[in-house]
Amino acid sequence: MARKQVKSVAGKMVAITGGARGIGKATALALIRRGARVAIGDLDLELAEKTAAELGGNAVAFKVDVTDRDSFVTFLDDAERELGPLDVLINNAGIMPLGRFEEETDETAKMLIDINLHGVIYGTKLALERMIPRRSGHIVNIASQAGKAGIPGGATYCATKHAVVGLSEAVRLENLENGIEISCVMPAVVNTELGSGLTDTRGVKKLEPEEVAEAIVEAIETNRFDVWVPRSSAGIAVALNMVPRSGREFIARTMKADKVLAEVDDATRASYEERAARSTAESAEDSTASEATAGS
């Protein structure tokens, strides 16, 4: 079997949303080590600047609110002005507040959809505007294995990730003749602040951010669309889809997969939930201020 041709990321300009911590930060480091130039976009500019300073001269920090199209435009414009034309966009920013669906507030649902889905839609459209005229570019959308299943405790989160998977598949097919590559990344639970306090699935260990980062870079290098992390998850998913629903649900209960998002350690998770709520509240305040300024 012929080996896949590997394209180098050296010299490429890569923009990452949610790049100041977790998977985003690990991916930025992996790319810089391979010679890429990286624009780290984050709602927390101070942390983004700290991360960029840690990573070195090929990383530059910018503030971005992925729920605000104008903010996303400014991020990409500033990144291109500083680092050159956009070669790769990694739509990584996302949140995961948890709880029973009937107890979820409408504000929380809107926040999840705005960040996890609208943010990816904005980023994908804006990247395509820049890439299609050059007939070159790669968009990486970070979904989740929750985008392939419904997991109790995270219904709306799962809905947003299912949407990211479907969006990525459709956009890929629309751009087969445009020279644009799309990758959809589906990690299991990752050892980041977002994944803190979750119940372990029997026989499945938490991933480290660096493992996901390596899978992302490999997908860029080889133009791979379906990026399961760990890769063995793909075979498990195929096998489970051949089993009747009752069987799949029995296996999920046996492995405690149905408890992963439903039975969490609230104390361990409290700082993440508080930060997520605070950051989205700040985003809403910034948006309101911008509207008021525009209207005055």
Tell how strand 59-63 and strand 88-91 pair up: unpaired
What share of residues in the chain are helix, strand, coil (percent, to 5)? 55, 15, 30
What amino acid occupies position 171?
A: V
Active-site residue, 122 included: no
Residue where the block lists tokens 């910034």: 286
Residue 243 DSSP class: S
Q: Do residues 158 and 101 touch, judged by C-beta distance below 8 A? A: no
What amino acid occupies position 259?
A: K
Q: Which of 72, 157, 228, 272 is catalytic?
A: 157
Beta strands in 145-255 (DSSP E): 180-187, 226-229
Q: Do residues 88 and 220 touch, judged by C-beta distance below 8 A? A: yes
What tokens were used for 188? 């299991």
Q: Do residues 21 and 193 touch, judged by C-beta distance below 8 A? A: yes
Name 227's bridge partners: 185
What tokens were used for 46? 């101070």
> Which helix (H) or strand (E) is 289 found in, with range?
helix 266-295
Helix (H, G, I), strand (E, B) or coil at 113: helix
| CB neighbour list of residue 172: distance below 8 Å, 6 or more residues apart | 182, 225
Helix (H, G, I), strand (E, B) or coil at 104: coil
The residues that are catalytic are 157
